[in-house]
Structure formats: C-alpha cells, structure tokens
C-alpha cells in the first residue's frame, strides 16, 4: 500500500471487501456446482448487499436463498423472482409472504410441522395466491427438520400436496462445520445427500410430488463428490470465506475476502498487548475457531496489505477495544506496532462480522479504480 492508498484515510473500524478475492470465490463455487450437474441457489444472508447479490446470482440463474423476509423484500424490489425463505415459517409472517408472492416474487417457505403446514394452507386459501412450501429434513441432528423416516414427513406432505402446495424438501448440513479435511467433509456431504434423497423417495412412494431436493452448506458444497438425486445446492459464506472455513480446510487464508480495518490506539507493554479500535462491535464476539486446531481468538491480525502477521491474533475484545497479542504458546513477541498504525483483522465468521457494519469499503478488482462503498441492509 502507498501512503496515498485510501485504506490509510478511512475512519476505523471499517469493513473491507477485497473484490478480486470475492469474484474468485464466486467463480469457484459456480464451477464446482456446475461440474456436479445441479443448480446453485446462493444464500444471500452473508452479505446482505444488493451489490454482492447481483454478482452471486449472475451465475445462478437468478435463484436465491434468504434467511429473513427483509432480505426477500429487498431482493424482490431488485427484481429477483425466485427465492426460498430458508427459516421455518411462522403464521404471523405469512401475510408478508403473500404480499411478496402477489407482487410477482416466487417465494417458497420452509416448514417441518403439521401446525405450520395448516397455517400455510389457511393463508393460501384466504390470501391472494397460494404459498408453496418445502419440508425441512434433519440430515445430521444440527437443528430443525424431520428425519427422513419420520411418519410426519408423509403426513405433512399429504396435507400440502392436496392443496397443490408441496414443492419438495430441503436440508442443511450445519454439523459439517465440525469436521475437518476433504475426506471427512465429503462423507458429510454424502450423508446430507442420502438423507435428502431418502426423504424425497419417501414422499414419492406415497404418491406425492417432490420436484425440489435442496441441500446446502458451504463445506459440503465444496466437498461433495456425487449429488445424484439432488436438484440444487444452497451455500452462502463461500462468497467471502472466513477463518472457520479455513480451519476446516475449505479455503486458504488467501481466499478470505473480508477484513476489518483497525488502528492501533495504545499499548500495555508489560503485558505484551497492543490495543486497537476494533472491539466486538466491529469484529463480533464470535469465537468459532475456539474448538478448532488453531484458535484464532477474535480474529487474525494482518498488515495493511492483508498479509497475516505470524501468530498475532485479537486475544480479547471489549465493546470498542480489541487487544492484540501473540497467540498462547507462540515463540514470537510480535512486531512493534506504533500508535496510528493500520491493521486488518480477518474474521472468524464472515456473517457475524459483516452484520456489525453498515457498508463495505471495497478494494476494487482492477486495483486501479477508486475505492467503492456498497451499503448493507439489516432487519427481519
């Protein structure tokens, strides 16, 4: 970086997006899913940005996944017409879903109970248009969903099918975040595929429609070796990557497109601490690498060019203060970082860190254009 580089003039803390790395990450996922012969349905919750979503959706046929109705409303206003709201729907939200569908957005909801199905059926009968649904499948005990052999799966399917509302099934292999390495992740991807296709077959054997078989997580999307019987893959954090993904072996540190720019504000030399102006309000309090082989604290410290500084992490974070020091057991004392020095912190979890900020300061892909600023949106 030169002295005139715009990173030196930004007010800190600031959320930095490396556009070239992001483009590379998007291209990698697009190529991987295309090679497996299925459709990609990018999850837009990580970025919560119209600018980023346009790039993700360009190679995915305009199909998207959202985690909030606010995301759906923003994307629909931008012309996105094919969305899955991938969080179990509540009756109180169905009026907003119906409004989006009436306005031309083909929004599909997700459910895993008869109570939800009955609410969707009632809203479809009473509202301006039908509301299609996917039944959520539990493929790994991670969170919600029905096991593929649960009798409730077919019972719910029959109720939806009778109203013409059953689109298929979906699952999310969230426990894949707990395994490391290509072979272990590939086994998890196969477990996810097998559960999804078993559930789809159970519905079909009962004479019910199951056109959509949707799976997804960034680790399994990159590790899957066979997606027979699957129609689409959902993934989100791949667009930026983060330290958790690097710890799983899904990406390298050089793939991480997101960082937080921070400034040194002081020292506690007797403790070996350097204080910066990025605390948990800028970094988040996520400690997703704490159970991994390498604990990255609250983030890995890099120089202004984004090069990691050996074994230097944010060991503690208060609201507006971050404490930087060598990781426990490190043999280095760390570099001399004077007050006013600029650093970049790689995040543990890109979704959480991005959520702390209102906009991305974008290092443009060509390396020559002025820095861009892309707004983020919030809310539910």
Average pLDDT across the chain, whole number: 95
Per residue in 235-277, pLDDT (tens digit) is 999 999 999 999 999 999 999 999 999 999 999 999 999 999 9
Position 27 scores a pLDDT of 97
Tokens of 156: 């719910």
pLDDT-derived band at 329, boundaries 50, 70, 90 = confident
CA dihedral sign, ordered 332, 338, 339, 343 = negative
pLDDT-derived band at 225, boundaries 50, 70, 90 = very high
Same fold, 6-15+257-375 and 36-239: no
Count of beta carbons in the 10 Å neighbourhood of residue 46: 26
Question: In this structure, which topology does domain 36-239 adopt according to CATH?
Answer: TIM Barrel (3.20.20)
Per residue in 92-130, pLDDT (tens digit) is 999 999 999 999 999 999 999 999 999 999 999 999 999
Asked whether 29 and 40 are in contact (CB, 8 A), the reply is yes
Position 334 scores a pLDDT of 77
Position 5 scores a pLDDT of 72
Position 369 scores a pLDDT of 84
In eight-state DSSP terms, residue 127 is S
Question: In this structure, which topology does domain 6-15+257-375 adopt according to CATH?
Answer: Lyase, Ornithine Decarboxylase; Chain A, domain 1 (2.40.37)
Tokens of 301: 């410290």
How far, in whole angstroms, is CA 241 from its chain's centroid? 9
Domains of the chain, residue spans: 6-15+257-375, 36-239
Q: Provide mean pLDDT across the span 345-369.
A: 95
Per residue in 209-218, pLDDT (tens digit) is 999 999 999 9
pLDDT at 1 over 50: no
pLDDT at 3 over 70: no
How far, in whole angstroms, is CA 214 from its chain's centroid? 16
Position 4 scores a pLDDT of 40
User: In sequence order, what DSSP letters do the residues of 217-236 get, joined into one string?
Assistant: -HHHHHH-S--TT--EEEE-
Q: Provide mean pLDDT across the span 342-360.
A: 98
Percent of the chain with pLDDT over 90: 90
Position 37 scores a pLDDT of 96
Backbone φ, ψ for residue 7 (5° rounding): -60, -25
Contacts of 215 (CB under 8 A, 6+ apart): 139, 170, 171, 172, 173, 192, 193, 196, 227, 230, 232, 233, 234
- What CA–CA distance (Å, rounded) separates 130 from 112? 18
In eight-state DSSP terms, residue 90 is -
pLDDT at 283 over 50: yes
Per residue in 18-43, pLDDT (tens digit) is 999 999 999 999 999 999 999 999 99
Position 6 scores a pLDDT of 77
Per residue in 143-195, pLDDT (tens digit) is 899 999 999 999 999 999 999 999 999 999 988 888 999 999 999 999 999 99
């Amino acid at each position: 970086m030169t002295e005139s580089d715009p990173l030196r003039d930004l007010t800190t803390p600031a959320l930095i997006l490396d556009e070239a790395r992001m483009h590379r990450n998007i291209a990698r996922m697009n190529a991987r899913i295309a090679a497996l012969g299925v459709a990609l349905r990018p999850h837009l919750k990580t970025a919560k940005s119209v600018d980023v979503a346009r790039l993700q959706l360009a190679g995915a046929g305009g199909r998207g996944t959202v985690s909030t109705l606010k995301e759906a409303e923003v994307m629909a206003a931008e012309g996105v017409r094919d969305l899955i709201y991938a969080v179990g729907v509540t009756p109180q939200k169905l009026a907003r879903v119906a409004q989006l569908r009436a306005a031309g957005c083909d929004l599909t909801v997700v459910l895993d109970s008869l109570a939800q199905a009955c609410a969707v059926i009632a809203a479809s009968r009473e509202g301006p248009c039908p509301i299609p649904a996917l039944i959520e499948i539990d493929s790994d005990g991670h969170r919600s969903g029905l096991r593929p052999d649960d009798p409730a799966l077919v019972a719910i399917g029959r109720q939806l099918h009778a109203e013409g509302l059953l689109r298929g099934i979906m699952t999310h292999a969230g426990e894949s975040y707990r395994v490391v390495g290509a072979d272990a992740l590939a086994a998890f991807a196969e477990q996810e595929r097998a559960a999804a296709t078993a559930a789809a077959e159970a519905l079909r054997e009962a004479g019910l429609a199951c056109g959509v078989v949707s799976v997804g997580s960034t680790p399994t999307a990159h590790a899957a070796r066979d997606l027979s019987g699957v129609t689409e893959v959902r993934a989100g954090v791949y667009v930026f990557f983060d330290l958790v993904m690097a710890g799983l072996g899904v990406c390298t540190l050089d793939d991480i497109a997101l960082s937080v720019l921070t400034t040194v504000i002081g020292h506690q030399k007797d403790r070996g601490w350097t204080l910066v102006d990025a605390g948990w309000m800028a970094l988040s309090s996520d400690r997703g690498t704490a159970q991994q082989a390498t604990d990255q604290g609250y983030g890995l410290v890099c120089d202004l060019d984004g090069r990691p500084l050996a074994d230097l992490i944010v060991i503690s974070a208060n609201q507006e203060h971050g404490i930087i020091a060598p990781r426990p057991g490190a043999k280095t004392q760390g570099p001399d970082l004077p007050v006013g020095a600029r650093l970049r912190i790689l995040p543990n979890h890109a979704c959480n860190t991005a959520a702390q900020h209102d906009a991305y300061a974008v290092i443009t892909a060509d390396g020559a254009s002025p820095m861009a600023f892309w707004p983020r949106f919030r809310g539910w």
